[in-house]
Amino acid sequence: MEIFHKVVDLQNALFACRKQGLTIGLVPTMGALHEGHASLVRRSVKENGITVVSVFVNPTQFNDKKDLSTYPRTLEADCKLLESCGADYVFAPDVNEVYPTPDERHFEYPPVTTVMEGAHRPGHFNGVCQVVSRLFYIVCPDKAYFGEKDWQQIAVIKAMVKDLGLKVSIVECDIVRDDKGLAMSSRNTLLSEDERAIAPNIYKVLKDSVGYSKNHSVAETHDFVVDSINAIDGLDVEYFSIVDGDTLQDVDVWDNSSCVVGCITVYCGKKPIRLIDHIKYITTSC
């Protein structure tokens, strides 16, 4: 496995790979890697001749500068994990390499960029599109791999790819959870022992709500989830939206969509740590 810090060095290596007819898979990450990331890398290795993993904490997608400063950075450990997964190249640039000049581009794809995370984190998805598009231009991958934990992010990236006319296939990968059900996230490393004990209740309530939804309305299911999680000391729901899985628009009646997803963000602990998750209620077209 080779580690690159400069765009030109990575592109020279990829040029040689393309001359050999090798396909290229890209796994964009912000580091602090875990088993969820590892599953994306292993799938890319299986499906492509060369797998590139970017490790870059992107400043333009943080609307809270404190959140940026506390985001975990563990490049050495990340590289060990990536090598064990079979990654070929790691791209770990500094900010000036990715943004040699300020990125003045503005990406907006309503309604997918304006609801949920878009409403609660102004500018977040613009920053995501800035960095992901730059990585796509740098690497020119055949396929790019993203975890379903960030359900809305995948919808945004698909909209961006279509808008920019990029020839890359977006591969959605199943969410990975720990043995207690907590969705794998780099932010989990910031949880205390006590917080790790209560955080799995988020998914427990979401799972319970699937059964509850069979005999209750969308509105009742929404309130069941919010009230149940907020009743747990140390957990506080920021939002819970039950939406069409493609448009991300609110669903009022269960049979109005063939793909219904509940997307949630919960603050955990005293710090607090912001955790996201989702549950699928209707999966005919998901």
* Residue 208, marked binder: no
* Residue 216, marked binder: no
Task: Classify residue 214 by burial, with Cβ atoms within 10 Å: 0-12, 13-18, 19+.
Answer: exposed
* Residue 30, marked binder: yes
Round to whole Å and give the CA distance between 106 and 127.
9
Round to whole Å and give the CA distance between 72 and 74.
6
* Residue 234, marked binder: no
Question: Measured at the alpha carbon of residue 166, what is the angle toward residues 165 and 171, in degrees to the nearest 5?
Answer: 125
- Describe the strand order of the beta sheet including 169-173 as a list of residue ranges: 2-4, 89-91, 50-55, 24-29, 143-147, 169-173
* Residue 33, marked binder: yes
Angle at which helices 218-230 and 201-213 cross, to 10°: 160
* Residue 209, marked binder: no
* Residue 152, marked binder: no
* Residue 192, marked binder: no
* Residue 25, marked binder: no
* Residue 150, marked binder: yes
* Residue 32, marked binder: yes
Q: Is 124 a catalytic residue?
A: no
* Residue 187, marked binder: yes
* Residue 148, marked binder: yes
What is the amino acid identity at position 79?
C
**118 to each of 114, 130, 164, how far by Cα in Å?**
5, 15, 20
Give the largest Cα separation in the chain, rounded. Answer: 59
The active-site residue out of 37, 124, 222, 278 is 37
Q: Which of 184, 200, 174 is nearest to 34 (CA)?
A: 184
* Phi, psi of 231, rounded to the nearest 5 degrees: -75, -10
* Residue 31, marked binder: yes
* Residue 116, marked binder: no
- Describe the strand order of the beta sheet including 235-244 as a list of residue ranges: 235-244, 259-268, 273-283
Q: Which of 61, 119, 62 is nearest to 249 (CA)?
A: 119
Which residues are annotated binding-site positions for ATP?
Answer: 30-37, 147-150, 176, 184-187
Residues making up the annotated binding site are 30-37, 61, 147-150, 153, 176, 184-187
Q: Which residues are annotated as a binding site for beta-alanine?
A: 61
Binding site members for (R)-pantoate? 61, 153
What are the catalytic residues?
Answer: 37
